[in-house]
Amino acid sequence: MSTVKLTVNGKAVAVDVEDRTLLVQLLRDHLNLTGTHVGCDTSQCGACVVHMDGRAVKSCTMLAGQADGASITTIEGIAKGDELHPMQAAFRDNHGLQCGFCTPGMIMSAIDIVHRHGGQLDEATVRHELEGNICRCTGYHNIVKAVLDAAGRMKVAQAAE
Amino acid sequence: MGVEGIGARVVRKEDKRFITGKGRYVDDIKLMGMTHAYFIRSPHAHAKVKGIDSSAALKMPGVVAVLTGKQLVDDKVGNLICGWAITSKDGSPMKMGAWPAMAPETVRFVGQAVAVVIAESKNLARDAAEAVVVDYEELPAVADMHAAIKAGAPQLHPEAPGNQVYDWVIGDESATDAAFAKAANVVKLDVTNNRLAPNAMEPRAAIADYDAAEEHFTLYTTSQNPHVARLVLSAFYNIAPEHKLRVIAPDVGGGFGSKIFIYPEEMVALWASKKVERPVKWTGDRTEAFLTDAHGRDHITHAEMAFDTNNKIIGLKVKTYANFGAYMSLFSSSVPTYLYATLLSGQYNIPAIHAEVIGVYTNTTPVDAYRGAGRPEASYLIERLMETAARQLNVDPAELRRTNFITQFPHQTPVIMAYDTGDFNASLDAAMKAIDYAGFAARKAQAKSQGKLRGIGVSCYIEACGIAPSKAVGSLGAGVGLWESAEVRVNPVGTIEILTGSHSHGQGHETTFCQLVADRLGIPISQVSIVHGDTDKVQFGMGTYGSRSAAVGLTAILKAMEKMESKAKKIAAHALEASEADIVIENGEFKVTGTDKAIALPMVALAAYTAHNLPDGMEPGLKESAFYDPTNFTFPAGAYICELEVDPGTGKTSFINFVAADDFGRLINPMIVEGQVHGGLVQGIGQALLEHAIYDANGQPVTASFMDYAMPRADDVPSFNLSHTTTLCPGNPLGIKGCGEAGAIGASAAVINAITDAIGKNNLEMPATPDRVWRTIHAA
């Protein structure tokens, strides 16, 4: 057993876990943050994507101990109170989700994509960048639309700040 | 159409919880004292279970129990059932091999459970499973269908000699033979419809909770049809009578058919929960999904189509081998028979059809309904045949289709179905216009100058949805009726709850079903809630599959609404001292037509519940229910055209354009309908280009993770160009046909027709991987 100390969605937490505990297990089983999902166990589907120190990571493929000292943001931590993150709003407005299971990972990956590419996103880039997130419902059409829409909204939001 | 009524692109009500991480899936639920199950599964495709030694495991930390198939049999837990009886052409019933939830004696596919460890955590259960020693005696296995039916092949079930489930026929053989005897041309085609793994993104899961004092079970499960699950668990598996079993299907992360069926894991969880007297949770991982979720498709077919001198089809002969895997899953028997062969007329006038379907056992994962279920196999076959015929007869593929389109409705096909309405020329016109079919030759020439092979492929599909009239399916062997139920509860303050037997696992019912209410009453959808997925709340329902929730489920809601409105009008008329016939409902008010007299819905509701001033003899309350049984299947149809390029140097396919023109009848929410089409199209494209669940000759699965099974990813597929043509379905009052499966039914043939057009060779199996396309291009 080890104590892992980390910041999750802005709150400092210390959790005693078995050394083999995965980050996603810490989030789901110990902190009850069940928005982060496990879809494949092999780092392929991206349902488990969270942000660690601002970068997208697959939380099913890293040990909780590797996140010691890090700042983790999950799907539960991106809205400001009732105000949705622009990526969340864009997924809803563009019907970028159906069953919702891949959605948290999609949104967390997509935010990271927009951050890394700034305003330079086009459809081909979004499709290429989403290669690590699998959706079985939407056929990706509306997810791609949502990410491009959100990229614009995030630029506007950034300019306003 | 109001802003939130029928036909409006209303943003989904359910989205907020999903985009904020507040969805509640089965694995998100924790119960007090909950234990965790981990199944011990056979590594062999066929073996005798000689013994199971769990003594070491039982001494490990946190282990609560190790339970085996033998104990399951000792406790008289029933075998899994197949709910649709099919009769072979010789009059014999289908041959059912016994399928216990955990194998006490013989395992017949890799992944079949033999025992389960119950422990304090999933990790501890998994650790202990490593210490359980199962003594297997390997038996010869067979995974290939043709090998399985050969003399001397390993036999799976003593009940099924020759590994044959059934040999079933449909249509008029002599009329078909007569048509072929006078044919001017005969087109022949062999096709394989590749086996697919459904892969809903949420793995299956179950939590069983036994209350010993009440002798009552609660099951949380990833189900598309929780009431059917309860019925089957109660009636056939001896788990508990229905009033002692509550089944809850909360948020479910996709189904595509794979979550219709009752699987061993939820049965074992229920049984184990009573044995260990604690809640038991099982959550599958992705490899377990590949090993145990019912697969889809897996047909090998030879077909011949006869034409007269005017290129009119005069006959069709089909012989299909359908792989059922090792056991008959819940609705498997109906898929390659009544859901497949009844659609072999496609969109065409075909006066004589004869089809024979031979069901085969193999040492592979059971096969059952997967999005489209039989209809993609039929549509793929017919549309590959039409394309092949056009090439052989040297006519334009679109023209050959037009020559043979059914244009008069209703149309009785020779294979049971009576198409009620449609306009196949309209959808083909729309698709051809959208893709600029006329300009294709120039684009092909342009591509050729750049070293690329460009092709175009048409697919005109039809499907039978909205299953289905109970009497009709009953006469064909179904073990259940396929109606739907609904209840409308108007609360005393005028808000409304709609209880439905349909189940939403991505389809957006919480929005679309509210749109009907908004449309009829003129109230905002925020005033309406949809209640589903809990057998304690909704009395009964048949669930969601076969594109039936709008055509059947929503119609049931409409029927209940009509009853509720009728009573509410009586109350309003009484309060307003007007005639009931003069009351109209607008903007949430009951108005006396032609006057300014009105009473708002909340006041009518309150009057119903205070009951201070109701018409004489009227019962208090405002709640009505309805059971709706459709009069016919519905027949969505459309035309898909795919334009793509093949790189002859690599065999890689790149999409140029993909257009879809669908006729779904009336659309409740076009945004949601388009989403359904997008998703279906990508499943069809996935089958055509990427996906294949493969077994080696010994029955070992080769594709049991996302690293080996090629799921379509965002950069594998294009964006789509969708349009709709409309003929209203006459079979239900809303005119709805259903849209959930069309994309998966129509897309594969369009893609393969386009690739074979591009490369100039007709024989190409799915999935058309770059390797396979390259080999086909360069084959002698």
The tens digit of pLDDT for each residue in B163-197 reads 999 999 999 999 999 999 999 999 999 999 999 99
Q: Which of B286, B682, B713 lies closest to A42 in CB terms?
A: B286
For residues A37 and A104, give the distance between their C-alpha atoms in angstroms, rounded to a whole number: 8
Mean pLDDT across chain B? 96
Residue A97 structure tokens: 């989700």
For residues B729 and A54, give the distance between their C-alpha atoms in angstroms, rounded to a whole number: 52
Q: Which of B11, B22, B678 lies closest to A93 in CB terms?
A: B11
Contacts of A98 in chain B (CB under 8 A): 254, 506-508, 675, 679
Substitution target from A9, A48, A98 for chain B, most B beta carbons within 10 A = A98
Looking at the complex, report in whole angstroms how far the Cα of residue A69 sits from the nearest Cα belonging to chain B: 24
* Residue B761 burial by Cβ neighbours in a 10 Å radius (0-12, 13-18, 19+): middle
pLDDT band at B475 (very low <50, low <70, confident <90, very high): confident
Substitution target from A141, A142, A147, A153 for chain B, most B beta carbons within 10 A = A141
pLDDT band at B649 (very low <50, low <70, confident <90, very high): very high
| Contact yes or no for A116/A149 (Cβ under 8 A) | no
Record: contact B201-A102, CB cut-off 8 A:
yes
Record: contact B715-A127, CB cut-off 8 A:
yes
Looking at the complex, report in whole angstroms how far the Cα of residue B722 sits from the nearest Cα belonging to chain A: 11
Substitution target from B36, B713, B716, B717 for chain A, most A beta carbons within 10 A = B713
Tell me what the mean pLDDT of segment B121-135 comes to.
97
Phi, psi (degrees; rounded to nearest 5) at B32? -60, 130
Residue B235 structure tokens: 């009636």
CA distances from B550 to B463, B478, B505, B515, B740 (A): 15, 21, 14, 12, 10
Whether the per-residue pLDDT at B403 is higher than 70: the answer is: yes
pLDDT of residue B1: 52
How many Cβ pairs closer than 8 A exist between chain A and B?
177
- Secondary structure class of B127 (helix, strand, coil): helix
Residue B653 structure tokens: 């396919």
* Residue B388 burial by Cβ neighbours in a 10 Å radius (0-12, 13-18, 19+): buried
Chain centroid to CA B736: 18
pLDDT band at B479 (very low <50, low <70, confident <90, very high): confident
Tell me what the mean pLDDT of segment B725-747 comes to.
96
- Secondary structure class of A72 (helix, strand, coil): strand
CA nearest neighbour of B116 among B297, B316, B273: B273
The tens digit of pLDDT for each residue in B337-347 reads: 999 999 999 99
Chain centroid to CA B369: 6
Whether the per-residue pLDDT at B738 is higher than 60: the answer is: yes
For residues B618 and B222, give the distance between their C-alpha atoms in angstroms, rounded to a whole number: 42
Record: contact A97-B18, CB cut-off 8 A:
yes
Record: contact B18-A103, CB cut-off 8 A:
yes
Q: Which residues of A95-107 are buried (b: 16+ CB within 10 A; e: fewer)?
A: bbbbbbbbbbbbb
pLDDT of residue B473: 87
For residues B542 and B313, give the distance between their C-alpha atoms in angstroms, rounded to a whole number: 38
pLDDT of residue A155: 84
Q: Minimal Cα distance from A94: which residue of B? A: B11
Looking at the complex, report in whole angstroms how far the Cα of residue B204 sits from the nearest Cα belonging to chain A: 10
Q: What sign does the dihedral B372-B376-B379-B382 (CA atoms) show?
A: negative
Substitution target from B19, B34, B38, B657 for chain A, most A beta carbons within 10 A = B19
Alpha helix (H) ranges present in chain A?
Answer: 23-25, 86-93, 103-117, 123-129, 141-160
Tell me what the mean pLDDT of segment A26-40 comes to.
98
Record: contact B12-A92, CB cut-off 8 A:
yes
pLDDT of residue B471: 86
For residues B512 and B528, give the distance between their C-alpha atoms in angstroms, rounded to a whole number: 11
Q: Which of A114-123, B316-325, B655-664 has the lowest mean pLDDT?
A: A114-123
Amino acid letter for position B390 = A
Record: contact A139-B286, CB cut-off 8 A:
no
For residues A105 and A108, give the distance between their C-alpha atoms in angstroms, rounded to a whole number: 5
pLDDT of residue A124: 97
Contacts of A136 in chain B (CB under 8 A): 199-201, 254, 256, 679, 683, 711
A118 touches chain B (CB under 8 A): no
Looking at the complex, report in whole angstroms how far the Cα of residue A159 sits from the nearest Cα belonging to chain B: 24
Which residue has 């109906």 as its token pair? B334
Record: contact A101-B123, CB cut-off 8 A:
no
Name residues whose C-beta falls within 8 Å of residue A60's C-beta, 6 or more positions apart in sequence: A22, A23, A24, A38, A40, A41, A43, A48
pLDDT of residue B280: 98
CB atoms within 10 A of CB A92: 21
Q: What is the 3-state secondary structure (H, E, C) of B681-715?
A: HHHHHHHHHCCCCCECCCCCECCCCCCCCCCCCHH
Whether the per-residue pLDDT at B48 is higher than 80: the answer is: yes
Substitution target from B15, B199, B703 for chain A, most A beta carbons within 10 A = B15
Contacts of A149 in chain B (CB under 8 A): none
Name residues whose C-beta falls within 8 Å of residue B323's C-beta, 6 or more positions apart in sequence: B145, B195, B298, B299, B360, B362, B364, B367
The tens digit of pLDDT for each residue in A73-122 reads: 999 999 999 999 999 999 999 999 999 999 999 999 999 999 999 878 99
For residues B587 and B433, give the distance between their C-alpha atoms in angstroms, rounded to a whole number: 41
Substitution target from A41, A48, A99 for chain B, most B beta carbons within 10 A = A99
Q: What is the 3-state secondary structure (H, E, C) of B515-566?
A: HHHHHHHCCCHHHEEEECCECCCCCCCCCCCCCCHHHHHHHHHHHHHHHHHH
Angle at B290 between CA B289 and CA B294, to 5 degrees: 80
Tell me whether the omega of the peptide bond preceding residue B767 falls within 30 degrees of 0, making it cis. yes
Record: contact B253-A100, CB cut-off 8 A:
yes
For residue A27, the 8-state DSSP code is: I
Q: What sign does the dihedral B253-B255-B260-B261 (CA atoms) show?
A: negative
Phi, psi (degrees; rounded to nearest 5) at B112? -65, 135
Record: contact A141-B285, CB cut-off 8 A:
no
The tens digit of pLDDT for each residue in A118-158 reads: 878 999 999 999 999 999 999 999 999 999 999 999 988 87
DSSP-assigned beta bridge partners for residue B138: B47
For residues A53 and B255, give the distance between their C-alpha atoms in angstroms, rounded to a whole number: 35
Q: What sign does the dihedral B711-B714-B717-B722 (CA atoms) show?
A: positive
Contacts of A126 in chain B (CB under 8 A): 714
- Pairing of the two strands B216-221 and B245-248: parallel
Mean pLDDT across chain A? 96
DSSP string of B224-276, one letter each residue: S-HHHHHHHHHHTT-S--GGGEEEE--B----TTTTTSPPHHHHHHHHHHHHH
Tell me what the mean pLDDT of segment B686-698 comes to.
97
Q: What percent of chain A has pLDDT over 90?
A: 93
pLDDT of residue B686: 98
CA distances from B130 to A19, B58, B452, B579, B625 (A): 19, 12, 53, 76, 52
Tell me what the mean pLDDT of segment A20-46 comes to.
97
Q: Which of A55-59, B237-241, B261-265 has the lowest mean pLDDT?
A: B237-241
Record: contact A95-B680, CB cut-off 8 A:
no
Q: Which of B252, B506, B675 lies closest to A142 in CB terms?
A: B675
Model confidence pTM above 0.90: yes
Record: contact B251-A100, CB cut-off 8 A:
yes
pLDDT of residue B467: 82
For residues B212 and B240, give the distance between their C-alpha atoms in angstroms, rounded to a whole number: 12
- Pairing of the two strands B583-586 and B589-592: antiparallel
DSSP-assigned beta bridge partners for residue B488: B498, B624
Q: What percent of chain B has pLDDT over 70?
A: 100
A139 touches chain B (CB under 8 A): yes
pLDDT band at B601 (very low <50, low <70, confident <90, very high): very high
Tell me what the mean pLDDT of segment B604-632 comes to.
96
A108 touches chain B (CB under 8 A): no
Q: What percent of chain B has pLDDT over 90?
A: 95
For residues B58 and B132, give the distance between their C-alpha atoms in angstroms, rounded to a whole number: 9
For residues A149 and A94, give the distance between their C-alpha atoms in angstroms, rounded to a whole number: 8
The tens digit of pLDDT for each residue in B346-367 reads: 999 999 999 999 999 999 999 9
Q: Which of residues 58-87 of A touch B (CB under 8 A)?
A: 74-76, 79, 84
